[in-house]
Structure 1
Amino acid sequence: MARYIGPKNKLARKIGEDLGLKTNALKVARRLTSKPGQHGAKSRRKTSDYGTQLNEKQKVKYIYGILERQLRKLYTEASKNPTATGAALLSLLERRLDNAIYRLGWTGTRAAARQLASHSHIRINGKKMDVPSYQVKVNDIISLTSKGMKIPLISEAIKENSSKVTWLEQKGAVAKVSRLPERTDVTESIEEQLIVEYYSR
């Protein structure tokens, strides 16, 4: 299935939560009470266990902007840790390069971070990296190219940056992965156990 490129607010309304897909969070919040459609959904059936699990899986896909095959691949890797599969899955999602860029505050959304990486504006350990799904590792150095630093929105974001992410040590347009992200580093409301239950059916 292709990546969703339609209205981002529609996804937030579908899930019923602000997924951080747009920078105008207040506007999103005001519309979360109505479902997508001309007048919103007239009624909602009680969601089954499967439906709840599916909804959580979809929510994570929307938040991180990934495809089903990408999430399933990460789950397969995370399941090698049977005692903490959910936490391992979230750590792998957090370690995506586009997410790391977003966490650093260099972009307002993960979609913008993904574009920044895809357009070769990011370096990993001094070498250009244009793969948004790249898994950052401890001691990796993430930096912007000189061309990337000249992008007005990016340079302004770095100047005004107030990111408090603790697994990334940042100094201007350069950051070091000091440790792997843990469950407590995920700020979004995610019930990862539901995703584990969905894939382990």
Structure 2
Amino acid sequence: MSRFRGARLKKVRSLGSELPGLVRKESRSTNTPGEQGAMRKRRRVSTFRLQLQEKQKIRFNYGLNEKALRRYYSDASRMKGETGVNLLQLIERRLDNVVARGGLAPTIPAARQLVSHGHITVNGRKVSIASYRVKVGDVIGVKEKSRDLKVITDHIAAGSGIGVPSFLEADPQKRMITVKSIPAREDVPIEVSERAVVEFYSK
């Protein structure tokens, strides 16, 4: 899975939107990066650039490479309902996202490390695949010997994070997250036009 290793706040500024899955800090500047950022922001944006920007918001917030995002789009387009909403729902159901949004990690990259290093369980069984798709009724937990990992305890003590969505029931003190329902469109934590993303891929 692709991991963004550049300046995260700079990426947030370049896309013009907060990306809580990528970084917890908020960018203080509203300009795009570079000395001419304020001037570039006033230029007319082409339809293609707008569609690309919306796609990139999803990619960088959830830590997806292009191949993975295209695969999610393909799956979403074959489902009943609106393709854009289906796309967001599928991505929100990723295990690394659920671990982060359930309050066990500060960001999705941090949650991905917990998953890939074998610290996370689903229904009592270790799952080390970050893209694992949770379903309604699943209970996500932390292995007994991993419950006091610093990244987990520090984050719980800080009491901050992306925010627990309505489709999850979280009890960080017990290191437990329960999937109550399929994610709703309102559960998505970023401002993004899924219609623009669908238009980008449907060409």
Question: TM-score, normalising length from structure 2?
Answer: 0.88
Shift of 1:76: 0.3
Equivalent residue of 2:128, what SS?
coil
Distance 1:122 1:187 in 2: 23
List aligned pairs for 1:10-159, cutoff 5 A: 10-20=10-20, 21-25=22-26, 28=27, 30-33=28-31, 35-37=32-34, 39-41=35-37, 43-44=39-40, 45-81=43-79, 83-158=81-156
Q: Report % sequence identity.
A: 39
Equivalent residue of 2:39, what SS?
coil
Equivalent residue of 2:37, what SS?
coil
In structure 1, runs of 5+ residues without a counterpart are: none
Distance 1:142 1:129 in 2: 10
Please say if residues 117 and 129 of structure 1, whose CA atoms lie closer than 8 Å, have aligned partners that are also in contact: yes
Number of aligned residue pairs? 196
What's 1:165 paired with?
165
Residues 170 and 4 of structure 1, relative CA distance in 2, 3 Å threshold? closer
Please say if residues 104 and 168 of structure 1, whose CA atoms lie closer than 8 Å, have aligned partners that are also in contact: yes
Which stretches of structure 1, 4 residues or more, deviate above 6 A after TM superposition? none
Letter matched to residue 13 of structure 1: R
Residues 46 and 152 of structure 1, relative CA distance in 2, 3 Å threshold? same
In structure 2, runs of 5+ residues without a counterpart are: none
Distance 2:36 2:140 in 1: 43
Letter matched to residue 195 of structure 1: V
Distance 2:154 2:3 in 1: 29
Shift of 1:126: 1.2
Shift of 1:2: 4.8
Distance 2:2 2:61 in 1: 15
Shift of 1:128: 0.9
Please say if residues 158 and 173 of structure 1, whose CA atoms lie closer than 8 Å, have aligned partners that are also in contact: no
Please say if residues 169 and 180 of structure 2, whose CA atoms lie closer than 8 Å, have aligned partners that are also in contact: yes
Asked whether 1:188 is paired with 2:190, we answer yes
Shift of 1:83: 3.8
Distance 1:178 1:82 in 2: 21
Distance 1:111 1:164 in 2: 17
